[in-house]
Structure 1
Amino acid sequence: MPVAVPLPELGQFNYVPETKENIDWADLITLDFSLYGTPEGKKQLAKTLVEAVRVHGFFYVKNFNISQERVNRQFSMGKQFYELPLEEKLKYVPDLDNGAFNGYTPAGRRILDTESGLRDRIEIYNLPKFDGFFTHNHPAVIQDHLAEIEEFAKSLHTEVLDPLHVLLAIALELPEDYFLKIHDYSRKSEDHFRYMKYSKYTPEENAKLGRIWGQGHTDLGSWTLLFRQPVAALQIRHLQTNEWKWVKPQDGTLTVNACDALSFLTGGYVRSTVHRVVAPPKDQEHVDRLGVLYFSRPNNDVKLETIKDSPVLQREGFVKNQFEESGNPVPTMEEWTFAKQKWQRTNNKVRGDPKYETAQILPGFSEKVYA
């Protein structure tokens, strides 16, 4: 339920119109959580979820019991944060080169085009999970609304992530609380809530970048939740065809993708989907793109080894992941998080650099980055 105190005025957040261009949208499926209340509905949703994480890669969730008004307020908070002077935002930069990520990441840390010297224009503000393990200073625009942000972030667990974990357990013929236990909110994990801004380039600059703002990659946790953003820029690499497809913003939905940790835990049965961010269509190229996201991760002490208790994984032969096959030590979620974050922060991310295209993150695992 929303917080029961009067909410400070945030101003209106105005969404831009959706593109009218004819672009190649991905054909994604939708999980309707209005079916979640019955055993039959859960079974149906679990079957749909398997198709989503094995065939399509990304999917939508609707009827998840979080009002659009509450979502709009989060976009307004993100907008207000990014309107702060740069010198104020820079007070909240963590030790990025050593893998820290909570706080502010300024734009311009990556060269996207060596000839022109164009750099990324991506700004990030991450808020750690409200589990009592993290202390963090925030600018007033965030601090003054922290109770509301905490309530909103926790509602993403109860209304979205917990049901997804139950459905995945049902699909794998595990006890329904299997994934709930390893994603216990009260235990330390690196979940975080994010306001993210992509500032626009000119048409001429986009041409120099090949219209690619962020190279293809996978996310490192369990699930990523993305609230509807009408500025089209997200593309996925389809699991079956390997073609790049645009992800269409759908009213009243969350866009969700499964990530590395679930792929490791299921021996590759759940697939961590490659995705990227590109320049918007021409009729949206003139505006900035603001995103509100949530990144879910298993508890820090969870070892990323294949689940041995799932009859489904045993029957279908998903019994080892890359770490187990390599013979190297299997990392915990905490070790994987900071190893991948540090790799992402410190590698020379210039298009065409072979060190960037394929790079070792931990023994037994190399990640390829897709243009």
Structure 2
Amino acid sequence: MPSLINAPLPPVRHYEAAPLTKERLEYVDLPIIDLSSFTASADPDVRTHLVAQVRSAMAEYGFFYVLNHGLSTAQTERMFDIADIPFSEVDDDEKKKYQSKLKETGTQQGYKPRQYYHIDNGIRDQIEIYALNHDVNKSGHPAVLQPLLPEIERFAYHNHVNVLYPILRLLALGLDLSEDSLVELHKWEDISESYVRYPRSDEEEEKTNNLWLKGHTDIGSLTFLYSQPIAALQIRAKDGSWKWVKHIENAIVVNAGDAIEFLSGGLYSATIHRVVQPPADQRAYTRLGLFYFLKPLSSPFLQRTAECAEAPTMAEWRKGRTKSYGNAELKASAINLGVEEEYLNGVLIKHYV
């Protein structure tokens, strides 16, 4: 099997992904970016076309797929195998030793336990997360993960240098900036991968209208989600409807977060998305997510609104949103039906149901 490192691979149990749903869902038609055509081509026409394609995708959706990102299907499957280990092979007592201190520190390193976020009508979430920094030695990890840390670190490095940097160059060119201007704001620091899965009872589904995570925007600049078969992710279209994100084998789903909206002056909008209960034929399966979150700490945000007297730094924004998410007291919008609001650092944050 291909490897992210040039060494024999520790054996891991294979994670068996769910079959595709047979239900007819209303999918969003997201653009597909062939990353290899940018990194391998010196043809200015090819680059110009890709820049226009990414600019359009960010302006219209804030979401797009990336193919030919440098990892084979076998390598990606191996990372899903590793991603399942913190949940399936670590007992509850050991998980408590590595539980993250979200409220105290505003960082999500280690385990986020189930029932931490309030969803609706007194129902709390069943989402379990294991997050780690790209510097895998920055904190401790369960014993079963120790032999796999070099592989995880190389995975993070690949995402950062071979996937993120080309995308940032495309985004910068789309803003008529120098090619490396956004790369300079995303140094190899404070990045994390999160491994996530979700189960819940029928009664709780009914009380929350099958909503697992309210519509929200991500904290950082970009989020990479390695596509997996269980349908649960939806994005909010401009007409207010919710559309499903379709699975594409070995694709990365890229979405824009708050930081890229701030840094681009709003040209690239942070995308509103949510997670809902999967279709009936997939509900017996556990949804496992493999994410790479980008959290640039080195740059201040541009002011988001004229009323915002002082823009927050990325660190302030990240920690504030991490502490408040799922725990803040939200108020129903007086203007928009189905929208709940809170203020953080003088910036209005909306949650969508």
Q: Scaled by the length of structure 1, what TM-score is found?
A: 0.87
- Partner residue in 1 for 2:236: 237
Measure the CA separation in 2 of the matches of 1:95 and 1:12: 30
> Residue 234 of structure 2 contacts residue 273 of structure 2 at CA under 8 Å; is this kept in 1?
yes
Give the RMSD, CA atoms, in angstroms: 2.0
> Residue 58 of structure 1 contacts residue 256 of structure 1 at CA under 8 Å; is this kept in 2?
yes
Measure the CA separation in 1 of the matches of 2:221 and 2:198: 24
Deviation at 1:158, TM superposition (A): 1.9
Determine if the alignment matches structure 1 residue 344 to structure 2 residue 319.
no
Q: How does 1:1-371 map to 2 (within 5 A)?
A: 2-36=4-38, 37-38=40-41, 39-83=44-88, 84-98=90-104, 99-114=106-121, 117-130=122-135, 135-185=138-188, 188=189, 190-199=190-199, 201-238=200-237, 240-298=238-296, 300-305=297-302, 321-322=304-305, 325-344=306-325, 346-348=327-329, 357-363=340-346, 365-371=347-353
Give the aligned length. 342
Deviation at 1:348, TM superposition (A): 4.6
Residue identity opposite 2:221 in structure 1: S
> Residue 119 of structure 2 contacts residue 214 of structure 2 at CA under 8 Å; is this kept in 1?
no
Measure the CA separation in 2 of the matches of 1:140 and 1:222: 32
Q: Deviations over 1:232-289 (max 9, x none)?
A: 0000002x32211000011121111011001001111001000000000011112211
Deviation at 1:12, TM superposition (A): 1.6
Measure the CA separation in 2 of the matches of 1:47 and 1:342: 37
Measure the CA separation in 2 of the matches of 1:20 and 1:352: 36
Residue identity opposite 2:134 in structure 1: K
> Structure 2 stretches of 5 or more lacking a match?
none
Q: Deviations over 1:171-198 (max 9, x none)?
A: 111111101111121xx4x321111111
Comparing 76-85 and 221-230, the one that deviates more: 76-85
Comparing 35-44 and 102-111, the one that deviates more: 35-44
Residue identity opposite 2:10 in structure 1: P
> Residue 237 of structure 1 contacts residue 244 of structure 1 at CA under 8 Å; is this kept in 2?
yes
Q: Deviations over 1:22-66 (max 9, x none)?
A: 111111110011311223322211111011111122110001111
Q: Scaled by the length of structure 2, what TM-score is found?
A: 0.92
Deviation at 1:294, TM superposition (A): 0.3
Measure the CA separation in 1 of the matches of 2:205 and 2:101: 30
> Residue 58 of structure 1 contacts residue 258 of structure 1 at CA under 8 Å; is this kept in 2?
yes
> Structure 1 stretches of 5 or more lacking a match?
306-319
- Report the 3-state secondary structure (helix = DSSP H, G, I; strand = E; otherwise coil) of the residue aligned with 1:178: coil
Measure the CA separation in 1 of the matches of 2:22 and 2:316: 44
Measure the CA separation in 2 of the matches of 1:180 and 1:58: 19
> Residue 119 of structure 2 contacts residue 326 of structure 2 at CA under 8 Å; is this kept in 1?
no
- Report the 3-state secondary structure (helix = DSSP H, G, I; strand = E; otherwise coil) of the residue aligned with 1:216: strand
